[in-house]
Structure 1
Amino acid sequence: MPALLKRYGVVLLIAAIVAILPYVVPTSFYLRIAALVFIFSLAVLGLNLLMGFTGQVSLGHAGFFGIGAYAVAVLPTHFGVPSAVALVAGVVIAGLLAFVIGRPILKLKGHYLAVATLGMGILIAMVFTNEAQFTGGPDGMPVPRLTLFGWTARGSVTWYWISGVTLVLAVLLTANLIDSPTGRALRAIHDSEVASRVLGVDVARYKLIAFVLSAVYTAIAGSYLALFDGLVTPMTAGFMRSIEFVAMAVLGGLGSIFGSVVGAALLTVLPQMLTVFHDYEHIALGAIMIVFMIFLRAGIVPSLTSLFRRNPS
């Protein structure tokens, strides 16, 4: 029982939050913010699988985010593909691209890998900006609504449940993965690639698995955001979006599933709360992030967990 609780506790916690939140918030505006938190949590969860559990740095995951977003815009608009099929196609394209690109760039380590993934993300964003006849160029393009068997997804409440349920399923999948032989191999690679090889772990294969899975998670999140907003622009796949994902993962806690949600929530909700400072909003946000990193160096969730374990009273 304790082992099951340890594995599925975070799943039950997030599921409880998703189920209860609509009954305690006063207006649908808060559900819109919550839907954004869930969508970004899905992307950060994928990035955390790569960075936190496998130890591989990526500064270009917004590229996969943009692939998912533009797939649900370009394919229905220009090729008449149903939105649901376009979503699946975008995820498959992102996964295949990660598989092809991951083989050579995952041979790199440290800042070399970071720069390589950064270049990948920039190239993808440039394609979205320059191929104006398909993507609308710098101004972006509208995104048709998601329609499935005659039902159309619209409104904050609908997307709250879609994104919330998807996040719970993704957390469940990740929790099972981390406690599987594959997850143990990923954690071993994070600790030491040399030791992992000595123990017979196929390091290249498992790093590629983590890279592809993280791209799939991020592409799904990108599709959801585009369908939710009804608009997509090259900023969706921009460099700052990648930095935002990394900041969410680090603030919440690398190697923590719940930390992915906390980090995404923090950097989604805080800017909304800090608008009262007007011109000083970004200064306040930066100061808060610095304070968190100084006093909670391992990230919010791991640091607080360690603190409570040392001081249970």
Structure 2
Amino acid sequence: MNPALRTFLILAALVVAGALIFPSSYYYRVGTLVWINTLAVTGIVVLLGYVGLVSLGHAGFFAIGAYATAILPSYGVPSVLAAILGAAGAGLLAAIVGRPILRLSGYYLAIATLGLGMLIWMVLSKEAWLTGGPDGMTVMGANARDLFKLVGLNLRSAESWYWVTGTFAVLGAVLAVNLGNSPWGRALRAIHDSDVAASSLGIDVAKAKSMAFTISAVYAAVAGALLALANGYITPEVGGFMHSVEMVTMAVLGGAASVFGALVGALILTALPQVLTVFADYEHMILGAVMVLTMILMRRGLVPALVDLAKRRRK
């Protein structure tokens, strides 16, 4: 079966299964956050898993998508168009700064992307006249009632946002799988193995890295726009350093080279803290222990480790 079709069928089935078993709006709300994080982390998979580049500033692109969706409607721009412009703006910024930044490697690259993310966070925090400052701002088009009017969805409900975010996450995963199996995807994986070897094969390494960085930024911005619309309120914390670390952790935990790993990592770090609240003061300790053990026992992430285990059992 075609990998993209298989990805679509599995993820679509998971979206439907969640809607069938969730007993209340609270679960739909958590499911919405899982799908938003899955979409953002899928962009990290393209950058980290396919090319091997680490970005500690991707929350900045997430925030650009979120704040564009919050700010532009106050100037008469429809919410949907604002989200599209936010994603385009994040992609343009990534394309502009990507070329010089991506000449770096290793921890130099990580620090450079961290600096970019911190600059975006500082602008959002300090320019209170535009962004509301540290207190954040209300998203005027949060209900986006015109968005899916034709199919009769009431986007004021948690259930509707679950379906919308699930649809975007599925489409994002399918596009990422298609990219991974395309000639460009094979070029990105060649760069992951060796820049020099890829260059000797005629691959424009700088262009390929810039493309991956731009694509991952657009994924993050779209996820940010969805979060802003679903929440109805946004603060600069969505662009903070810890959010960037959280996204990278989700990717590594689930399996940085796997689109399904993006879902698993997002599910663990989004839903597990909700489950562990019953342990009160021990919540963070248990979550940390789970992550440490996973990294020790399954260094490539949960999904690749489980796939390898299943293959060995078949033999």
Settle same-fold status: TM greater than 0.5.
Answer: yes
Local SS of the residue matching 1:197: helix
Is residue 15 from structure 1 mapped to residue 1 from structure 2 by the alignment? no
Question: 1: distance between equivalents of 2:126 and 2:145?
Answer: 29
Gaps of 5+ in 1: none
Q: Deviations over 1:53-105 (max 9, x none)?
A: 1111100000000000101111112x121111110110010000000010100
How far is 1:19 from its partner? Answer: 1.9
How far is 1:149 from its partner? Answer: 6.3
Q: Output aligned runs, 1:178-217, within 5 Å.
A: 178-217=180-219
Is residue 300 from structure 1 mapped to residue 293 from structure 2 by the alignment? no
Gaps of 5+ in 2: none
Q: 2:258 aligns with which of 256, 271, 278?
A: 256
Local SS of the residue matching 1:311: helix
Q: Deviations over 1:3-29 (max 9, x none)?
A: x2x443222110111122211222222
Question: 1: distance between equivalents of 2:223 and 2:255?
Answer: 20
Tell me the amino acid that sits aligned with residue 196 of structure 2. Answer: V
Tell me the amino acid that sits aligned with residue 244 of structure 1. Answer: E
Q: 1:127 aligns with which of 101, 123, 126?
A: 123
Moved more, 7-16 or 242-251: 7-16
Q: Is the 8 A contact 1:226 1:232 kept in 2?
A: yes
TM-score (norm 2): 0.95
Q: Is the 8 A contact 2:256 2:301 kept in 1?
A: yes
Q: Output aligned runs, 1:53-202, within 5 Å.
A: 53-77=50-74, 79-144=75-140, 145=142, 146-148=144-146, 151=149, 153-202=155-204
| 1:33 aligned residue | 30
Q: Percent identity?
A: 53
Q: Is the 8 A contact 2:80 2:147 kept in 1?
A: no
Q: Is the 8 A contact 1:82 1:147 kept in 2?
A: no
Question: 2: distance between equivalents of 1:24 and 1:233?
Answer: 32
Tell me the amino acid that sits aligned with residue 168 of structure 2. Answer: T
Moved more, 170-179 or 230-239: 170-179
Tell me the amino acid that sits aligned with residue 73 of structure 2. Answer: P
Question: 2: distance between equivalents of 1:126 and 1:270?
Answer: 30
TM-score (norm 1): 0.96
Q: Is the 8 A contact 2:62 2:239 kept in 1?
A: yes
Is residue 288 from structure 1 mapped to residue 284 from structure 2 by the alignment? no
Local SS of the residue matching 1:107: coil
| 1:46 aligned residue | 43
Moved more, 200-209 or 8-17: 8-17
Q: Is the 8 A contact 2:60 2:239 kept in 1?
A: yes
